[in-house]
Amino acid sequence: MGEDMKKISLEYQWAIGKKTGVGWYIYNIVKELSKSSENKYILEFVNFFGKYNSDLEKINYNLEMKQNKFITYKVYDFLAKKINLSHNMLMRSNSDIYHFFNFTIPSNIKGKVIVTIYDTVFITAPETMGNKKRIEDYIYGAEKSDLIITISESAKMDIVENLGINEDKIKIVTPGIDIESYSKEYSIEELNTIKDRYQLPDNYILYLGTVEPRKNIERIIKAFLYYKKNHNGDLKLVIAGGMGWNYKNIIDLIESNSEDIILTGYVREEDKIPIYKLSKVFVFPSLYEGFGMPVLEAMASGIPVITSNVSSLPEVAGDAAIKVDPLNEIEIFNAYEKILLDSNLREKMIQAGYQQSKKYSWRESAIKLEKIYRDL
């Protein structure tokens, strides 16, 4: 190792197995960090009796891995965060910096500690948290870490206001987007395969994300039904994504309008891009987001976007989306009309959206992160 090279352990637990948004953030950041020779990066995770060996074989970057194969993650979590056993001992590691990517940190660790906090939903909407004890762990991570990384200016301000953290302790590293993947042209056969797999109609408005109240899906549906009442045609609404929490009212509303609304269930990561590309409009008027990755994904796919004028979403969308009051169904309806009935506006939005999405790259995010490591 060079004299200025640091040993940096990266929590990789959430990037193995079935990935959520956090897992994909880690995966893509680590993929870019692995191309750098500035530091020595080490992936740390629990891999009970080789449970994730098949996933690890797919990793195409050459980094050292430190695994504990003798306990489950649940046991590690208890030992490291409740019993205060040393993380260094449990993972047999002695790095200069430890970066934990999922809100929480161990209570006993030697080395500088960074935690990534993506939003403060655990404070603003604690009912979404299945385990209330987890909220205490999240607050502990924010208070006891040496540095906090978050993903937008809006999320940073939320951490300052909701957790009382000095803003100097918080740095921003946004997600990026692989613009080449989203620019790919699909054959008619490939698109038809996706249409058949998810029972997609020919002409649809798309929502893609978790199915839960925070995503404002009931108002998306009500605005769509109002559009259908006022306009003839075969337009449908596709609600794509897995179930979150407290989704019964949403499902009831979908089922009572099943002729016009399609619920796909969980969407494979590799199927997302063609599902975006097949749609006419992407609608994402969420009530709260730390970032709002689907907005960028839709823009990179060449689809006009309707999103909220609150939280981080104006920051992410820039001037390339129609921004609405998420509590106002008529504004969502009017946005549907503007895009679907004005082909010139639609084309302008597609071009502006694509340019907006190009502002976010994983390479630039990794460069920012390396500077943070360098300065800590």
Residue in 156, 144, 164 with CA at minimum distance from that of residue 119: 156
pLDDT (0 to 100) of residue 76: 96
Which tens digits make up the pLDDT trace of 45-67?
A: 999 999 988 778 777 778 999 99
Please give the average pLDDT of every successive group of 10 residues along the chain, which has 376 residues: 83 89 93 93 94 80 91 95 94 97 95 96 72 79 97 96 95 96 94 97 96 94 97 96 90 95 94 97 96 97 97 97 98 98 97 97 96 96
Q: Which two tokens stand for residue 77?
A: 């979590």
Whether 211 and 239 have beta carbons less than 8 Å apart is answered as yes
Cα separation of 292 and 330, whole Å? 22
Q: DSSP of 234-245, one letter per residue?
A: --EEEEES-B-S
The torsion angle over the Cα atoms of residues 113, 117, 120 and 125, rounded to 10 degrees, is -110
> How many other CB atoms are there within 10 angstroms of residue 34's CB atom?
16
Which tens digits make up the pLDDT trace of 278-309?
A: 999 999 999 999 999 999 999 999 999 999 99
Task: Report all structural domains of the chain as residue ranges with CATH numbers, in order of start.
Answer: 7-176+361-375 (3.40.50.2000), 179-357 (3.40.50.2000)
pLDDT (0 to 100) of residue 3: 63
